[in-house]
Amino acid sequence: MRTDDARREILRAIRENLARGESSPPADLLSGGSSPPGPLSVVSSPPDPLSAMRRGGTTGESRSPSPEGRGGQGVRTQGSQGVRTRFTEELAAAGAQCTVVCGEAEAGRALARTLAGVHARRVVGSDAPLVQRLLHALGDGFVLEPLDRLSRDELFACDAGVTTAQWGIAETGTLVLESAREKSRLLSLVPPTHVVLLSAGCICESLGDALARVSVASHAITLITGPSRTSDIELTPVVGVHGPQTLHVLLLEEE
């Protein structure tokens, strides 16, 4: 079986098993000489994530992302206010911060305050058009690093990374980042501060709901629940050792 076919089969099996309440895909898909390859990077520039929000979406029963599906969120979930409230509560319980903003202008002001609040100077953003617009509107006081010309060592020297997230999961306060949507994986894992832009209309109730909406073109899916933390040494919790110490979500409401 070709590697692309194997990916599709495994993802299909996971979705079917989640729908049936099973915990893992059939063993025959994970054996037979083919294993899914490692994550790949997508280098093409994605379109504007706010455009999908302004156009609206399908009902929560839809299980396919938006046609373009790049640079931000996919089909809106039409989630209730209760789902959004639970998401923000679980987000706070996981140690993340959240600011609700209405429209791009307010998001830009909130981003500037957030970065200034953590004393971030060197900032790098994903290739999502919304992220790039907000970063270039920050003004003086920040150094914007070009993602396509940064080495990994230079990325480690950045103070903050700014990306979008495609989905939020209400039951755990988790963010879902898809590799096919934007170049965001290293930005979300390396700098000590991670700022995430998420549409309030793209919050799912559960992990199964989110996985059912993930694009099959995504070779890697990053799930983020709060700042990075570990208890490797004497079971003592430490934040920010293996990833960002601060996670701040800008929750975008429609204007």
SS (H, E, C) the chain: CCHHHHHHHHHHHHHHHHHHCCCCCCHHHHCCCCCCCCCCCCCCCCCCHHHHHHHCCCCCCCCCCCCCCCCCCCCCCCCCHHHHHHHHHHHHHCCCEEEEEECHHHHHHHHHHHHHHCCCCEEEECCCHHHHHHHHCCCCCCEEECHHHCCHHHHHCCCEEEEECCEEECCCCEEEEECCCCCCHHHHHCCCEEEEEEEHHHEECCHHHHHHHCCCCCCCEEEECCCCEECCCCCCCEECCCCCCEEEEEEEECC
Report the DSSP pairing between strands 193-199 and 160-164.
Answer: parallel
Can you give the pLDDT at residue 240? 59
Is pLDDT at 177 greater than 50 in this prediction?
Answer: yes
Place of tokens 């981003």: 111
Task: Note the pLDDT of residue 247.
Answer: 96
pLDDT for residue 237 = 73
232 pLDDT above the threshold of 80: no
pLDDT of residue 254: 82
Higher pLDDT, 65 or 128: 128
Are the C-beta atoms of residues 198 and 249 closer than 8 Å to each other?
Answer: yes
Q: How far is CA 44 from the centre of its chain?
A: 17
- Confidence (pLDDT) at 182: 87
pLDDT higher for 33 or 19? Answer: 19
Tell me how crowded residue 12 is: count the other CB atoms within 10 A of its CB. Answer: 13
Q: Please give the Cα distance from 212 to 77 (Å, whole number).
A: 12
Q: Residues 108, 136: contact at Cβ < 8 Å?
A: no
At residue 21, the pLDDT reads 60
> Most distant CA pair in the chain: distance in Å?
57
Q: Which residue has the tokens 């060592």?
A: 153
- Segment 214-241 shows an average pLDDT of 80
Residue 57's nearest CA partner among 170, 204, 248 is 204
* Selected residue with higher pLDDT from 5 and 248: 248
Band of the pLDDT at 205, cuts 50, 70, 90? very high
Q: What's the token pair of residue 188? A: 């979300």
- Average pLDDT score over residue span 94-113: 95
Nearest CA to 52 among 68, 63, 35? 68
pLDDT at residue 41 is higher than 60: no
pLDDT of residue 47 exceeding 70, the answer is: no
Q: What is the pLDDT of residue 2?
A: 58
Do you know the residue count of the chain? Answer: 255
Query: 129-136 vs 104-117: helix axis angle to the nearest 10?
Result: 60
Q: What is the pLDDT of residues 59-96, one digit of tens each?
A: 333 333 332 344 555 445 445 789 999 999 999 999 99
Give the mean pLDDT of 40-47.
40
Between 113-117, 169-173, 226-230, 250-254, the lowest mean confidence (pLDDT) is in 226-230
